Amino acid sequence: MFAPRNVYDAYATTARAFHLADKYQVPAIILADQFLCDSWFTTEQSFDIPPAVKLFYATDEDLENPSNYRRFEVTKSGVSPRVLPCRGKALVMVCSDEHSEDGHITEDSTERIKMVDKRNAKLKDMLNEMQAPEVYYGDSDVLLVGWGSTQGAILEAVDILRADGSDVGAVIFGDLWPFPNQLATEALQKARSFFMVEQNSGAQLGQIIQLQTGLRAAGAILKYDGRPFFSIEITKDIQRHLR
């Protein structure tokens, strides 16, 4: 799950999402809000064209015995070889319900456990694909923590606060799940305190951070009236917290 922070991020993140979805055979969700999608941007920076999305298909040549091909074969990585139907000797059988390794539907409890464990095995490698949050003045005494398109307002608020003499920085997440707990801990644990800045009513990312890392925000600046954050709103709220 990803939350693009700006127009450049959205461009690169979309390519990554397609790549990782195909590599690990999982859905990829991009949380792009109306503010980001409806905004106009002026830039002197040209986009780096990402490489073509690699498709992770197997062929008969990749299989030891195509005649014994199993679409949902249990592997150490949890990712089963994927063959396109009618492209070789391998017979591809799939179903939308729980299944055995060869693709037949099953309600056997042992098979069910085996398939769930197989899918969960993907998480280790998927977690290694997650990128660290963006850090802005990361050695500051206080950090503002957000995700997605709140980036612009948060960074501007940091600049205003620092110009006013406050030792404030920011950490902005773009990769949300699997949650990069080690990278998040490294970014947050140096600060004396951090405050969530989120456009929802429950500081949802703050809850995830606490659950995954044990680190608890000192407070939250929340806005959920359907309108984007303004940097001055963040500035005034954090100044009240810091008094």
Residue bearing tokens 């917290």: 241
Nearest to 213 by CA among 186, 192, 173, 195: 186
DSSP-derived pairing of the beta strands 142-147 and 219-222: unpaired
Residue that terminates a domain, selected from 92, 112, 127: 127
Tell whether 238 and 199 lie within a shared domain. Answer: yes
153 and 227: one domain? yes
**C-beta separation of 125 from 117 below 8 A:** no
Residues 89 and 72 in one domain: yes
- Measure Cα distances from 10 to 164, 175, 230 in Å: 32, 12, 21
Same domain, yes or no: 150 and 226: yes
Claim to verify: residue 153 and residue 230 sit in the same structural domain: yes
26 and 104 inside one domain: no
The dihedral formed by the CA atoms of 233, 240, 209 and 189, expressed in degrees to the nearest 10 = 120
Block residue for tokens 């902005």: 172
Domain count of the fold of the chain: 3
**Separation of alpha carbons 192 and 234, rounded Å:** 19
Q: Are residues 23 and 76 in the same domain?
A: no
Residue 195, helix vs strand vs coil = strand
pTM of the model: 0.92
Residue 1 lies in a domain: no
Q: Which of 70, 99, 127 is the last residue of a domain?
A: 127
Same domain? For 154 and 234 the reply is yes
For 77-140, the three-class secondary structure string (H helix, E strand, C coil) is CCCCCCECCCCCCCCCCCCCCCECCCCCECCCHHHHHHHHHHHHCHHHHHHHHCCCCEEECCCC
Any domain includes 2: no
CA–CA dist 146, 43 (Å, integer): 23
Are 113 and 167 found together in one domain?
no
Range of the domain at 28: 7-52
Residue by residue, pLDDT tens for the chain (243 residues) are 999 999 888 888 999 999 999 999 999 999 999 999 998 887 776 666 667 778 899 999 999 999 999 999 999 999 999 999 998 999 999 988 999 999 999 999 999 999 999 999 999 999 999 999 999 999 999 999 999 999 999 999 999 999 999 999 999 999 999 999 999 999 999 999 999 999 999 999 999 999 999 999 999 999 999 999 999 999 999 999 887
